[in-house]
Amino acid sequence: MVAQVAFGAVSLNGLTNRTPVVVEEVSLAQLSENQLYIATPFAKPVILNPEQKQQLQERVVLKVELVYTRFRSSPTFNQQLLNLNRLKELNRLVPGLFEAPLWEFQLTEQTKGNNPEVCNQMFHGFIITFRPNSSNSMLKQEADYLKKLVGSFLKQDSIDRYNNPTTTNSNLTGSSDSTGTGDSTSSGTTKKPMKFTIKTHYDKKWGYIYDTIWFVDTVKPPPPPDFFYNHQLYQDSTVLNAFDRNRDWSNFIVVTDVTGSMSPYSAQVFIWLKAQTQNDKAKYFVFFNDGDDTESRKKKPLETKGIYVTENKGVDAVMQTATKCMLKGSGGGESLENDVEALIEGAKYYTSASSLILIADNFESMRDYDFINKVSKPVHVILCGSERGVNIQYLDLAYRTKGTVHTKFSDVTNLNDLKEGEHIYIDEQKYLFKNKRFHFVYDAFQYQNSSVR
C-alpha cells in the first residue's frame, strides 16, 4: 500500500487512486495551443523538460493529465507508486500548482506498448491544459457583445415606452431563478401585463439566452461570442444570484475583473444594474484588466495599473468604461490579477462607501495579496467559477476586511466568528482556519471530470 502524501491541499495518493481513462496511445500532435506536455521517461519519474516551469507558474491551469502505459516488465511493478513519484517531481518543479487545486485531474492509461522497446517510443508524463489567452480581436468581440447587450436593453426601453407610456422599470421584479408578469403601480394604475424571464433557456433562432431580463416576443438578446472556449459559463448566474440574495447591500462600490473569460460575469453586472428600479445603491464602478497589456515580468504589486473608474450615471455610461477597460487589456490567461490595487483605487473616488463588492475570477489569485491590510472597507467577494472550490486568498481578503464571500449558491457571512483550528464548509467543501489564514483541506476535493473555467 502506498503511504498518504500531501502537499498543502492535495493528497497525491488520492490522485493516483483514480480510475484511469484508457486509450491506445496519446499523440502529442493532437495537443491544442492551450496545452503543453511535461515529459518523463518510460518507467521513471524524472522530468525531462523542466524549462516549461515558467508557463505553469504564470498561466491558469484547468487540467492536469498524467499519462502512462499499462505494460509492465515485472508482475511486482507498482504503477501507482511510479505515478505518485511523478506527481512528487511535478510538485517539486511547480509547488504553487498544488497549493491551489482548482484544476481537473485525469489519469490516462495507454495500451499500445507490449514491450519496453515500444514503450520507450511512447509519451509518458503530464499534459497540462491552460485557460486560453484572448487575442485583441477576441477582446473586441467580447466588448462588442456587452455593448449589444446594453443596446438591446435600451431598445427594449423604447418599445416599452411606445407600447405603454405608463410602463417603467418597476415592472422588473423577481429573482434570478423566477418568472413573472407586470403588476400595478403604487398609485393603482394598471400596467399592461408584460411577461419576463430571468431564467436560462434555449431559443431555436437566437441560441442560448442566459439569466437576463427579456420580455416575451420583443427584443432578443445578442448571442455570446462563438469563439468563447466554454459557453457553459454563460449559464452561470453567480453574480445575479449573489446580488439577489443580498438586496440589503447599499452605498457600495462595484469592483469588477474584466480580463479575458470574465465577460459572462461582467454581463450580469449590467443586467443587474438595468433591473434596478432605482440604481443608486452602487455609487461607483471600477473595472480592472491587470495592467493594460503590460508584460508579466514588468508588473509590480500596487503598481500594475489598468484600472478604470466611473460614477454610476446609468448603465450606458458604466458600459462605456467597462468596454474601454476590456479593450486596453491583454489575454486574461495569467494566474495573477491586481484585485487589491483596484479595490484601493476605487475607494479613493468615494470615501463614504459602506463597502466594496469585488467580482473576482476564482481561478486567478491576487498579485498584491500581501497588501490586503491596505484595504480599509469591508469587501463582499462574489467569486466566479468556484465549482471546484473557493480560492482561499479571497477567504483571507474577506476575513481581514470583515467582509463576506459569495458563490453561486452560498453566502459566507460568519468568517470573523471562526476560532483558531476550526473548519468551515462552503458548498460541501472543507477549509481550515489556522494562523489567521484559510487552508484547503485536501480530502474535500474530488478532482472529478466536469466543466471548468
Please write the tens of the pLDDT for every residue from 22-71: 999 999 999 999 999 999 999 999 999 999 999 998 898 999 999 999 99
Is it the case that residue 215 has pLDDT exceeding 80? no
Please write the tens of the pLDDT for every residue from 182-205: 333 333 333 333 333 444 444 554
Q: Residue-wise over 317-343: b if at least 16 C-beta within 10 A, else e?
A: ebbebbbbbbbbbbbbbbbbbbbbbbb
Who wins on pLDDT, 250 or 139?
Answer: 250
Q: Cell 486560453 sits at which residue? A: 132
Residues 6+ apart with CB under 8 A from 54: none
Q: Residue-wise over 185-222: b if at least 16 C-beta within 10 A, else e?
A: eeeeeebeebebbbebeeeeeebebbbbbbbeeebebb
Q: Is 304 helix (H, G, I), strand (E, B) or coil?
A: coil
Strand ranges, E, within 111-186? 125-130, 179-180
Measured distance CA(403)–CA(399) in Å, rounded: 6
Q: Cell 477576441 sits at which residue? A: 138
Measured distance CA(316)–CA(306) in Å, rounded: 21
Which percentage of the chain shows pLDDT scores above 70?
74
Is it the case that residue 121 has pLDDT exceeding 60? yes
Mean pLDDT throughout 167-189?
Answer: 36
Is it the case that residue 158 has pLDDT exceeding 50? no
Domains in the chain, please, with CATH? 6-130 (3.30.1330), 136-167+238-444 (3.40.50)
Who wins on pLDDT, 165 or 277?
Answer: 277
Please write the tens of the pLDDT for every residue from 340-397: 999 999 999 999 999 999 999 999 999 999 999 999 999 999 999 898 899 999 999 9
User: Confidence band (pLDDT; 50, 70, 90) for 286?
Assistant: very high
- Least confident stretch, 261-265, 317-321, 349-353: 261-265
Measured distance CA(40)–CA(44) in Å, rounded: 7
Mean pLDDT throughout 70-80?
Answer: 92
What is the predicted pLDDT for the residue at 362?
93
pTM of the entire structure? 0.76
The separation between CA 308 and the C-alpha centre of its own chain, rounded to angstroms, equals: 21
Average model confidence (pLDDT) across the chain: 80
Is it the case that residue 423 has pLDDT exceeding 70? yes
CB 243, CB 311: distance < 8 Å: no
Burial of 137 (0-12, 13-18, 19+ CB in 10 A): exposed
Measured distance CA(85)–CA(92) in Å, rounded: 11
State how far the alpha carbon of 394 is from the alpha carbons of 2, 280, 321, 330, in Å. Answer: 34, 27, 25, 23
Burial of 436 (0-12, 13-18, 19+ CB in 10 A): exposed
CB 400, CB 373: distance < 8 Å: yes
Q: Cell 517539486 sits at which residue? A: 92
Please state the φ and ψ torsions of residue 5, each to the nearest 5 degrees.
-130, 125
What is the predicted pLDDT for the residue at 253?
98
What is the predicted pLDDT for the residue at 211?
45
Who wins on pLDDT, 271 or 166?
Answer: 271
**Kind of pairing, strands 201-203 and 355-361?**
unpaired
- Least confident stretch, 58-72, 79-93, 439-453: 439-453
CB 378, CB 255: distance < 8 Å: no
What is the predicted pLDDT for the residue at 11?
66
Please write the tens of the pLDDT for every residue from 6-26: 444 456 777 888 899 999 999
User: How would DSSP label each residue in 227-248?
Assistant: T-S-GGGGG--HHHHHHHHTTT
